[in-house]
Structure formats: structure tokens, C-alpha cells
Amino acid sequence: MEVLDVACVSNANPVTCRHPRAAGARSLRPPQQSSEKAVLHTHSAPLSGQVIDGATHPELIPDSTAYRLAFTVIGEPPNPAPQRTVLQTARLNAAGPAGNDAQAAIGILATFKTKYADLVTSYNQAAMGAQQAGAAPDLPAFLASRDALVQSARDALMSVLTPQGAASLDSYVQHEKQRMKTSKDIQ
């Protein structure tokens, strides 16, 4: 058993290590639904264990990872439910593309979302088969396909977005790295 870089352990309340709240702030949070789960908090080095923390080292979050995570959250499959359309519009507004740019992005991200889901499903089926056979799935090939799909979506967006839309999208993704964390080895 190996435990990496655990500087602060809270075994009951996941908000023990919270930031100071502004005066007058109040929380309407309901009781924690899973307070029995131990949550490990650290207040240690920026690179904690095997994880890159984008809050302190955003430059170490690869663009391919950041775009993949952003596309996954912003993107919706084709013909989403009305409430999902509203949600996507809000996210696109935050990300920058508007008007025709937003419409173009919706289609490209729908294609990305569909292909990504298919890719994951195929890999997981292969992984299950490999495990039953006592072999390892071809993870490098999957990761290469995944990153190529992300790059393809980025290229498609850059080809249709206005320069302003493309710049604002990139600025947004770079900013969002602050809210991303990723393993150093497999991203």
C-alpha cells in the first residue's frame, strides 16, 4: 500500500480546509450527502504527488488536456434537450464564441462529443476483453486517438471561427486551466 503526499486528512468533513469566507457570506448548503467518505486534502507543494494542479501551475496543464475537458463540458450531443441547449448557450457565452461563431461551435462540438463517446466505449470493450484474456488493452493507441480527436476539433473550430471568436475561446480555455487538475503520467 502506498499513500502519496497526504498533508492534511479530514475523515469526516470535506470542507474542513475551506478558504476564509468573506464577511457576511452565508451558506445554504444542505447537509453533506456522503460525509462518511474520507476526503484527503493537502496544503502542500503545487505538484502534489503525481498530480498537476492548474491553480498553481496552469502552464503545466497541456493544451490538449485543457481543450478536451472544456469540449467535454461545453459540448452536447446532436439534438440536445431544450434545457441542455440553454446550458450550452450559457457555456458558449462564457467561452467567447457568439452568434455565427457559437452556431458553428455547436456543430463541431457535437461531432466531437459523439466521436469521443464512441471512442471510449470501444476502448472499454477492448479493455474488458483484454482483461479476460489476461492481456493489457492498447492504451497508447487509445490516448493517441483521443488526442487526435481533440486536435481535429480544435482545427475545425479554428477554421470556422472568426479571429475574435478563436482568440476568446483560447483565452477561456487557458483561464479554465486554473480549475483543472491532472495526473502527470496519463492525462
One of 33, 82, 99, 133 touching another protein (CB under 8 A): 33
13 binds another protein (CB under 8 A): no
Q: Do residues 172 and 102 make contact, with C-beta atoms less than 8 angstroms apart?
A: no
One of 17, 60, 98, 156 touching another protein (CB under 8 A): 17
CB atoms within 10 A of CB 68: 22
Q: Name residues whose C-beta falls within 8 Å of residue 29's C-beta, 6 or more positions apart in sequence.
A: none
In whole angstroms, give the CA distance from residue 85 to residue 44: 40
In whole angstroms, give the CA distance from residue 187 to residue 179: 15
79 binds another protein (CB under 8 A): no
24 binds another protein (CB under 8 A): yes
Ranges within 111-130 binding another protein (CB under 8 A): 116-117, 120, 123-124, 127-128, 130
80 binds another protein (CB under 8 A): no
Q: Do residues 146 and 68 make contact, with C-beta atoms less than 8 angstroms apart?
A: yes
103 binds another protein (CB under 8 A): no
69 binds another protein (CB under 8 A): yes
Give me 72's grid cell. Answer: 467535454
One of 12, 81, 90, 141 touching another protein (CB under 8 A): 90
Give me 20's grid cell. Answer: 476564509
Q: Do residues 161 and 97 make contact, with C-beta atoms less than 8 angstroms apart?
A: yes
137 binds another protein (CB under 8 A): yes
Ranges within 37-56 binding another protein (CB under 8 A): 37-46, 48-51, 53, 55-56
One of 142, 151, 156, 160 touching another protein (CB under 8 A): 142
